[in-house]
Structure 1
Amino acid sequence: MVEEVIRLSEKLGLRIKQIEATIQLLDEGATIPFIARYRKEATGGLNEVQIAQVRDEIERLRELEKRRETILKSIEEQGKLTDELKAALLAADTISVLEDLYLPYRPKRRTKATMAREKGLEPLAQQLYEQPETLVPETAAQAFVDAEKGVNSIEEALEGARHIIAEWVNERQEVRASLRTLFQEKAVIKSKLIKGKEEEGQKFRDYFEWEEPLKSIPSHRLLAIRRGESEMILSVSIEPDEAEAIALIEHLLLKNQSPAAEQVRQAIADAYKRLLRPSLETEMRLESKQRADEEAIKVFADNLRELLLASPFGEKRVLAIDPGFRTGCKVVVLDEHGQLLHDDVIYPNEPQNQKEAAGQLLRQLCQQYKVEAIAIGNGTASRETEQFVRSLHIPGVLVVMVNESGASVYSASKVAREEFPDKDVTVRGAVSIGRRLQDPLAELVKIDPKSIGVGQYQHDVDQKALKKSLDDVVISCVNAVGVELNTASKQLLAYVSGLNERLADNIIAYRTKYGGFRSREELKRVPGIGPKTFELAAGFLRIRHGEHPLDASAVHPESYPVVEQMAKDLGCRIEDLLRDASLRKQIQIERYVNDKIGLPTLQDIMNELAKPGRDPRQEFEVFQFDERVHSIEDLQPGMRLPGIVTNVTKFGAFVDIGVHQDGLVHISQLSHEYVSDPAQVVKVHQKVMVTVLEVDLNRRRIALSMKTDAPPPKKQDKRKERKQEAEDMAAKLAALRAKFGQ
Structure 2
Amino acid sequence: MAAPFFMVVVESAVMNSSNMPQGDQHAARALGLKVPVFRHLRDSLAQGEDPSWLQLSDPMLAGAFPSPLGFELLLDGLKAEAPVARRRANLLTSLAGKEMPEIEELVAAATDDGTLEDISIALQPANPPEGVETPEKEEHGKFLEALRGDMKVALVTRAVFRKHATIKIGLCEAKEDELRLFKQFAGQEYKLEAFPAQSYLAVRRGEHAHALQVEFVVPQAEIDAIFNSEVESPPQERDNYLELFRQFFQQERLPRFVQEARARLKRLAESSALEHAWNHAHLALDRGRQEGLIVGIAAQRSGKVQMVLLSADSIFMRGIVLNPKAEDFVEKVDAFIGEDRPLVAALQADSPTRNHGSKVLEHLRKSGKVRQVLVPVAVVRTLLREVARRLEESHLTHDERQALMLARLVHCPRAAALHTPHIVRAFVAGRSEVNHHRLDTFEIVFVQSLLAGRGVDVNVGTHDELKSVPGVDPTRVEVERSTAPFMSLADFQNRICLSEQEWRVAMCFLRCRVSEEPLDARALHPIYYQALRQLVEATEVVELEDVLKDPAKAQGLDWEELLKENGWSERVPSLVRRCLTRGGGRRPRMHANKGGRLEGLEIGGMLKGKVVRLSEIGAFLDVGLRTDGFVHVSQVADQFVKDPAEFLEVGQEVSARVLSVDLEKQRFRLSLRSGAESERKERGDGRGRGRGSGSGSKGGRGQREERKIPSHAVDSRPKSKPGGGGRRDDRDSNKREKIKLGKDPQADRWKEDIDPTNPFYQFFQEQEEVQKSQGDKA
Asked if 1:60 corresponds to 2:44, the answer is: no
Bigger relative contact order (CA 8 A; separation at least 6): 2
What CA distance in whole angstroms lies between the structure 1 residues aligned with 2:174 and 2:528? 70
Measure how far apart 1:227 and its partner are. Answer: 3.8
What CA distance in whole angstroms lies between the structure 2 residues aligned with 1:355 and 1:484? 47
Structure 1 counterpart SS, 2:319: strand
| Number of aligned positions between the proteins | 576
Asked if 1:14 corresponds to 2:15, the answer is: no
Q: Which residue of 2 aligns with 1:305?
A: 278
Measure how far apart 1:404 and its partner are. Answer: 4.5
Asked if 1:383 corresponds to 2:358, the answer is: yes
Asked if 1:319 corresponds to 2:339, the answer is: no
164, 176, 186: which one aligns with 2:164: 186
Q: Which residue of 2 aligns with 1:286?
A: 259
549, 556, 575: which one aligns with 1:604: 575
What CA distance in whole angstroms lies between the structure 2 residues aligned with 1:439 and 1:462? 30
What CA distance in whole angstroms lies between the structure 1 residues aligned with 2:242 and 2:97? 27
What CA distance in whole angstroms lies between the structure 1 residues aligned with 2:554 and 2:195? 58
Q: 1:341 to 1:18 in 2, by over 3 A?
A: same
Q: 1:409 to 1:612 in 2, by over 3 A?
A: same
249, 257, 266: which one aligns with 2:240: 266
What CA distance in whole angstroms lies between the structure 2 residues aligned with 1:267 and 1:586? 75
CA contact (8 A) 1:410 1:429 kept: no
2:571 is matched by which residue type in structure 1?
P
Measure how far apart 1:557 and its partner are. Answer: 1.9
Alignment of 1:104-503 (within 5 A): 104-105=124-125, 159-194=137-172, 201-254=179-232, 260-263=234-237, 266-273=240-247, 275-310=248-283, 314-324=288-298, 326=304, 328-335=306-313, 340-347=314-321, 350=324, 359=334, 362=337, 378=349, 380=353, 381-393=356-368, 399-417=371-389, 422=394, 429=402, 432-434=405-407, 436-437=409-410, 439-445=412-418, 446-448=420-422, 452-455=426-429, 457-469=430-442, 471-476=444-449, 478-486=451-459, 488=461, 490=463, 492-496=465-469, 498-499=470-471, 503=473
What CA distance in whole angstroms lies between the structure 2 residues aligned with 1:477 and 1:265? 66
Q: 1:600 to 1:647 in 2, by over 3 A?
A: closer
Q: 1:68 to 1:719 in 2, by over 3 A?
A: closer
Measure how far apart 1:485 and its partner are. Answer: 4.4
CA contact (8 A) 1:309 1:617 kept: no
Measure how far apart 1:196 and its partner are. Answer: 7.3
Measure how far apart 1:576 and its partner are. Answer: 5.9
2:524 is matched by which residue type in structure 1?
V
1:319 is matched by which residue type in structure 2?
L
Please, which runs of 5 or more residues in structure 2 have no aligned partner?
1-20, 598-607, 613-619, 628-647, 657-778
Q: Which residue of 1 aligns with 2:115?
A: 97
What CA distance in whole angstroms lies between the structure 1 residues aligned with 2:570 and 2:129? 62
What CA distance in whole angstroms lies between the structure 2 residues aligned with 1:332 and 1:3? 63
What CA distance in whole angstroms lies between the structure 2 residues aligned with 1:566 and 1:649? 39
Deviation digits for residues 50-102 of structure 1 (CA, Å, limit 9, x no counterpart): 754663344234334556789999x99xxx99675996997565332343355
2:277 is matched by which residue type in structure 1?
L
Q: 1:198 to 1:383 in 2, by over 3 A?
A: closer
Q: Which residue of 1 aligns with 2:697?
A: none
Measure how far apart 1:241 and its partner are. Answer: 1.4
Structure 2 counterpart SS, 1:589: coil
Q: 1:213 to 1:608 in 2, by over 3 A?
A: closer
What CA distance in whole angstroms lies between the structure 1 residues aligned with 2:307 and 2:594? 27
Structure 2 counterpart SS, 1:611: coil
Measure how far apart 1:180 and its partner are. Answer: 0.8
Structure 1 counterpart SS, 2:139: helix
Deviation digits for residues 29-63 of structure 1 (CA, Å, limit 9, x no counterpart): 33333223322445794555775466334423433
Q: 1:468 to 1:516 in 2, by over 3 A?
A: same
Q: Which residue of 2 aligns with 1:710?
A: none
What CA distance in whole angstroms lies between the structure 1 residues aligned with 2:592 and 2:112? 40
Alignment of 1:573-592 (within 5 A): 577-578=547-548, 580-581=549-550, 585=553, 588-590=556-558
1:444 is matched by which residue type in structure 2?
A
What CA distance in whole angstroms lies between the structure 2 residues aligned with 1:363 and 1:572? 60
What CA distance in whole angstroms lies between the structure 1 residues aligned with 2:593 and 2:65? 31
Alignment of 1:590-629 (within 5 A): 590=558, 594=562, 595-596=565-566, 600-612=571-583
Q: 1:718 to 1:390 in 2, by over 3 A?
A: closer
Measure how far apart 1:609 and its partner are. Answer: 3.2
Measure how far apart 1:186 and its partner are. Answer: 0.7
CA contact (8 A) 1:334 1:434 kept: no
Measure how far apart 1:161 and its partner are. Answer: 1.9
2:365 is matched by which residue type in structure 1?
R
Measure how far apart 1:571 and its partner are. Answer: 8.2
What CA distance in whole angstroms lies between the structure 2 residues aligned with 1:297 and 1:112? 34
What CA distance in whole angstroms lies between the structure 1 residues aligned with 2:389 and 2:215? 48
What CA distance in whole angstroms lies between the structure 1 residues aligned with 2:144 and 2:232? 13
Alignment of 1:553-592 (within 5 A): 553-564=522-533, 577-578=547-548, 580-581=549-550, 585=553, 588-590=556-558
CA contact (8 A) 2:288 2:412 kept: yes
Deviation digits for residues 248-280 of structure 1 (CA, Å, limit 9, x no counterpart): 12311227xxxx34446523431332x322344
Which stretch shows the higher mean deviation, 233-242 or 63-72?
Answer: 63-72
Q: 1:542 to 1:431 in 2, by over 3 A?
A: farther
Structure 1 counterpart SS, 2:571: helix
What CA distance in whole angstroms lies between the structure 2 residues aligned with 1:431 and 1:489? 22
In the superposition, the TM-score normalised over structure 2's length comes to 0.61
Measure how far apart 1:207 and its partner are. Answer: 4.7
Structure 1 counterpart SS, 2:558: helix
Give the superposed CA RMSD: 4.9
15, 25, 42: which one aligns with 1:23: 42
Measure how far apart 1:183 and its partner are. Answer: 0.8
2:55 is matched by which residue type in structure 1?
A
Q: 1:236 to 1:309 in 2, by over 3 A?
A: closer
Measure how far apart 1:530 and its partner are. Answer: 2.2
Measure how far apart 1:179 and its partner are. Answer: 0.8
User: Identity across aligned pairs (percent)?
Assistant: 17
CA contact (8 A) 2:454 2:583 kept: no
What CA distance in whole angstroms lies between the structure 2 residues aligned with 1:526 and 1:565? 27
Measure how far apart 1:375 and its partner are. Answer: 5.0
Measure how far apart 1:209 and its partner are. Answer: 3.7
Q: Which residue of 1 aligns with 2:701?
A: none
Asked if 1:521 corresponds to 2:494, the answer is: no
